[in-house]
Amino acid sequence: MSESPTAPLTTADGVPLKTSLRRAVRRSKLKAFLLVSPLLLFLVIAFVMPIFDMLWRSVDNPEVSSTLPRTVSALEGWDRESLPGEPAFAALVEDLRDGQAARNLGLLSSRLNYEKSGMRSAISRTGRRARNLEPPYREALIELNETWGELDTWKLIQREASPYTLSYYLAAVDRQLTPDGEIVKVPEHLEIHATLFWRTFWMSGVITLMTLLLGYPIAFLLANLPLRYSNLLMILVLLPFWTSLLVRTTTWIAILQSQGVLNDMMVAIGVIADEARWQMIHNKLGTIIAMTHILLPFMILPLYSVMKTIPPSYMRAARSLGGRPFLSFRRVYFPLTIPGIAAGGILVFILSIGYYITPALVGGQSGRFITNYIAYHMQTSLNWGLAAAIASILLFVVIVFYMVFNRLIGVDKVKLG
């Protein structure tokens, strides 16, 4: 006698149990997604979209192709060995007439002037008089401005006709394209960005090292003092977070300047003469001191969170086995704190290379970071493409630094609190 197959389990309304469980899981996932969707939307709008916009601006190059469409078309097939023919000059006049009427020659002149000095005045002057020019346009344009008689000018227009460009990235590392398309260094008196990148990275490294040297013993005290004392010390560590960053920075200006508190104290106790006061502000030293103080809590807190989990019995066991205090610390205690050192180090370093206010106020010319020149190109020179390229390079460096850190130490071992 054969047995009948077991009937599938069902719910009270007759739906198979597996189907009902799948529906319940889908509903719970949908509810969870709806709960976090406002946060996801905020991150997309406030974080992801600005990053993609920055990356797009660093290669976007629409000025020439949109403002000089006839000229770009007339230069197709040009041999680049001699000046183009009359049709190209005639097309340029028509484009400049339309651009002057639409009042959009400013962006074009600024874009070409980034690549070749004098293009702004050439385009502005020619645009104002383009309506009165008559054939032959080649002679008329060259007579109006000698720039149009230079072969490099037409090579530049043809090269920048592409809707995408690497010129901003080259300028960000003090390189440029020659009229023939070769990458060369900019003149020595114009080299600035590569120096600023190097200064930003090595000063951030120094600041990270200083916060480690100062923060390690403080975190050790926090982790090993009795609770009533450690709580008081923790309040002092967290106190800077309750004070405005601008206030803390300007306070260091008052302390470090030539007529400031520190110099007055040194003169009063006879350490230095009044005419030999220390210059500790508006230079690299001022930036390092101020930023070390500001970023010190970001090193202390990860170190403390790791040290608090290390049982005191480990050091007592090392001492009981004959280890001297320093040897016990180096062989037992210090290796256990490496995750905290790594967390504090990566946090302070990444925050340092992105700082703007403190280097701007206390750094002067020698203590400013590359971030200050991002602001300069955004607000003063209005070269947003170059600012976006510099910011993109910083983003790539942070990503590479993070990947190397993850490879050597492992992000999973990092403890922030």
Whole-number pLDDT of residue 18: 79
pLDDT band at residue 396 using 50, 70 and 90 as cut-offs: very high
Least confident of 125-129, 138-142, 272-276: 272-276
Percent pLDDT > 70 in the chain is 95
Interatomic CA distance for residues 140 and 153, integer angstroms: 16
φ, ψ of residue 70 to 5 degrees: the values are -65, -40
Interatomic CA distance for residues 71 and 3, integer angstroms: 88
CATH 1.10.3720.10 in the chain, residues?
193-413
What value does the mean pLDDT take over residues 37-41? Answer: 92
What value does the mean pLDDT take over residues 392-407? Answer: 87
pLDDT at 5 over 80: no
What value does the mean pLDDT take over residues 50-68? Answer: 92
φ, ψ of residue 153 to 5 degrees: the values are -65, -45
Interatomic CA distance for residues 370 and 195, integer angstroms: 9
pLDDT tens digit string along 165-198?
A: 999 999 999 998 888 888 999 888 888 899 999 9
Compute CA distances 377 → 59, 116, 233, 386, whole Å.
16, 17, 43, 7
Copy the structure tokens of residue 355: 């700082």
pLDDT band at residue 310 using 50, 70 and 90 as cut-offs: confident
What single-letter DSSP state applies at residue 292?
H
Beta bridge partners of residue 52, listed in sequence order:
none
Residue-averaged pLDDT of the chain: 87
φ, ψ of residue 94 to 5 degrees: the values are -65, -45
pLDDT at 414 over 80: no
Class of domain 193-413: mainly alpha
Percent pLDDT > 90 in the chain is 41
CB 347 within 8 Å of CB 416: yes
pLDDT tens digit string along 243-268?
A: 888 888 888 888 888 888 888 888 88
pTM of the model: 0.83
Whole-number pLDDT of residue 138: 92
Whole-number pLDDT of residue 417: 52
What value does the mean pLDDT take over residues 97-108? Answer: 91
pLDDT band at residue 7 using 50, 70 and 90 as cut-offs: low
pLDDT band at residue 319 using 50, 70 and 90 as cut-offs: confident
CB 357 within 8 Å of CB 247: no
Q: Which burial class, exposed, middle or buried, applies to 160 when counting CB atoms under 10 A from its CB (0-12, 13-18, 19+)?
A: buried
Interatomic CA distance for residues 166 and 182, integer angstroms: 12
pLDDT at 58 over 90: yes
pLDDT at 32 over 50: yes
Interatomic CA distance for residues 191 and 172, integer angstroms: 10
Q: Closest Cα partner for 359 from 372, 376, 342?
A: 372
pLDDT band at residue 320 using 50, 70 and 90 as cut-offs: confident
Whole-number pLDDT of residue 12: 66
Whole-number pLDDT of residue 65: 92
Whole-number pLDDT of residue 2: 47
Neighbours of 28 (CB within 10 A): 10
Q: Closest Cα partner for 308 from 224, 211, 217, 226?
A: 224
φ, ψ of residue 175 to 5 degrees: the values are -125, 165
Whole-number pLDDT of residue 122: 92
pLDDT at 416 over 60: no
